[in-house]
Structure 1
Amino acid sequence: MDVGYLSFHDEIPIFSSLLRELHINVSSLTECLYLLDGRLNQLRIFYVNIKIIHHIAPNIDMKKKLDNLRCFSLISKNETFCYSQSIVPLLHRMSNLKRLDLYLIIDENKFIDGNCLNNDIINHLPRLNHFIFNIQSRIYEYNQTDIRSNEDIQITFKTFPNHKVISCVDFFPEQNFARCHYYSYPYTMENYDKISNNFPGGLFKCVREISLFDERPFQHEFFIKISEAFPFLQKLTLENFQSQNKKSDEDDQYLSIIEYSYLTELRLLDVHDDYIEQFLFHSKSVLPNNISLSVQYDFLKRVTNHFTREQTRINSAKIKHVFLAGPGQHHLSKDFYQYFPNLQSYCFSLIT
């Protein structure tokens, strides 16, 4: 479910000299900063989910100390170009902070690593004793002669004694960007985004929603690893146009069948046919009943051999809702309805 974000600019309907704890979703960093302008001067615990983090407006006072704040959690699921200009100076105002949770996607001209977190944040918060983080640091149009390995990144976290830090470094030459994803473990969020073949594994019982992305193919063994790491997975989005290593139908009998016990939503809109087969072949995957599927209509028709293929019939019969995308409105044949006997609803999205 999408989060609703409040937008009130300087017309903020919140004034209190008594409020000590606040959990709120706001449209931009501006709303967050207005809330911290002194109108909530007794605030000690502040959890904020920000849709967009941008540059700080010149009329906002960034020197006023937030001495009463003891716990601060900031979540932003959209990319920000303003970590150094906006996030760092905000945190420097919280000198008495004891707990900090940061969930950010940062775009800078370098990886924001453990050394950066020490220099930018930790060294400025002398009372901090609990720091939970989940950060993706991205570099677009990266210099391939200056590639840092995951081992290099791990070294920068050697002074983080309180938590195990997991990191993963990826390079995507087709889209020309590099990514370093690191987080304190155990992982605390309900979503885990843009998982690649370099996924380090682990156990993530709290995660309910994931997305998978890579410019290299995902093999069957990768999906086994995913199912083991996220046992309570409910929503999965996949983006990969690279073909899997081809296997004949006879070879499928030697594969371990993956069971997705809690999956309710499967989004396969930007994928090679092989990944539709990966989930619809009953020799590869067991889907639960009443699942929702989003897929390109022409791809689905091709994978199911015009809704006649036996290998995909069992899992297709479990689909309750389907979102079909394609370049034009399609006539749904009698074979389509017979192939999805439990279908309760469907819709088309036209792509031009």
Structure 2
Amino acid sequence: MSNLEELTLYLTIDNRTAFIDGTHIYNEILSHVPRLHIFNFCICTEIKMDDLVHRLSKDDIQETFPNTIYQKVDCMVQYGDYHRVCHVSSVPFMFDYLGYIGNTFPSIIFSHIKRLTVDDRVAFEHEFFNRIAWSFPLLEHLCVINFMSPSQISKQLNSNDNQLNSIVKYPHLIWLCIESAHIDYVEQFLNETKTHLPSLTKLTVFYGHLYVVTENFTRYITRRNCMKVNELDIDNEKIERSKDFNAYFPLL
């Protein structure tokens, strides 16, 4: 190991009482590989919520990284109701998966990521999905976990009559998972006036939400994003394949 010159490392660690930070990385890794000059890494730490633990910010974490780490380092810290998640990674991000990020993430382009999970206790507004589309241009698989409804202001901005509202475009997205999300996010993704999904072939969604948003598979503006779906995952619900349903999902 002492002769190692290049290292690529992706780790997800849970059941800890503290985040993995720069000090830990230096003591446990860098101090043992003096010849290392390329270090691509992403380390995700999840700890259970404890009110006695000091609440660390992104800046607190980044200040722990020594100058001996050769690439630029970025950090994302998210505090949920029951757990805390921290990602520390080298930049540019060299991996194809990133899990459990929330509303706050760096304004950079993740040019390698194809699979992403977003999760937050704060609602995702329309602008958040615009940022996701910009930062993850090659995204193929998106999972949304959020049970909070967007604000009324956001809903007004997303109304069909608002010509200033930009349509979110995910040209490469083939799999969308929104089964653990508020019904408003089903509306957000299936309504073609809000989101464009030209490549979507797999949809994972709660059937009751799908039924309501599509108005029993009769609503025109939610049909186009469903037309290419050839795999529908709907939590063991029995589907009544009506004429309208078949028109919505002609490839099933």
Structure 1 position 141 matched with structure 2 position 49: yes
| CA distance in structure 1 between the aligned counterparts of 2:72 and 2:10, rounded to whole angstroms | 16
Q: 1:103 aligns with which of 2, 6, 10?
A: 10
The question of whether the paired residues in 1 share the 8 Å contact of 2:61 and 2:75 is answered with yes
Percent identity reads 38
Distance in 2 between the 1:302 and 1:316 partners? 15
SS at structure 1 position matched to 2:151: coil
Q: Does 1:117 align with 2:25?
A: yes
SS at match of 2:78: strand
Name structure 2 gaps, 5 residues minimum: none
The correspondence of residues 133-212 of structure 1 with structure 2, limited to 5 A, is 133-144=41-52, 146-173=54-81, 176-212=82-118
State the one-letter code of the partner of 2:39.
F
C-alpha distance in 2 between matches for 1:293 and 1:252: 28
> Which is worse superposed, 313-322 or 102-111?
313-322
| Deviation (angstroms), 1:283 | 0.9
Select the residue among 114, 129, 138 that pairs with 1:232. Answer: 138
1:255-274 mapped onto 2 (5 Å cutoff) = 255-274=165-184
Q: How do residues 1-352 of structure 1 correspond to structure 2 at under 5 angstroms?
A: 94-107=1-14, 108-144=16-52, 146-173=54-81, 176-246=82-152, 247-248=155-156, 249-289=159-199, 291-326=201-236, 328-340=237-249, 343-345=250-252
The structure showing larger relative contact order (alpha-carbon pairs under 8 Å, at least 6 residues apart) is: 2
Cα gap change, 1:320 to 1:190, in 2 (>3 Å): same
Q: Which AA in structure 1 matches 2:9?
A: L
CA contact (8 A) 1:290 1:321 kept: no
Shift of 1:338: 2.1
* Alignment CA distance shift 1:245-1:323 (3 Å): same
CA drift of 1:290 comes to 5.3
In structure 1, how many angstroms separate the alpha carbons of the residues matched to 2:219 and 2:51?
Answer: 47
Amino acid at match of 2:20: I
Q: Comparing both structures, which one devotes a greater share of its residues to strand? A: 1
CA distance in 2, matches of 1:310, 1:344: 17
CA contact (8 A) 1:291 1:321 kept: yes
- Matched position secondary structure for 1:181: strand
Deviates more, 1:204-213 or 1:182-191: 204-213
Amino acid at match of 2:238: Q
Structure 2 counterpart of 1:329, which letter?
Answer: K
Query: Does the CA-based 8 Å contact 2:78-2:101 persist in structure 1?
Result: no
- Amino acid corresponding to residue 103 of structure 1 in structure 2: Y
Q: Which moved more, 1:180-189 or 1:142-151?
A: 142-151
- Displacement of 1:205 in angstroms is 1.5
Q: Which amino acid aligns with 2:240?
A: H
Whether the 8 Å CA contact 2:10–2:43 is kept in 1: the answer is yes
1:107-161 residue CA offsets vs partner (Å, 9 max, x unmatched): 2211110011111221122222222210011211333551111110010114245
Structure 1 gaps of 5+ residues are 1-93, 346-352
Residue range with higher mean Cα deviation, 261-270 or 220-229: 261-270
TM-score relative to the length of structure 1: 0.66
Distance in 2 of aligned mates of 1:312 and 1:223: 18
Q: Distance in 2 between matches of 1:252 and 1:295?
A: 27
Shift of the 253–307 alpha-carbon distance from structure 1 to 2, 3 Å rule, reads farther
Q: TM-score, normalised by structure 2?
A: 0.91
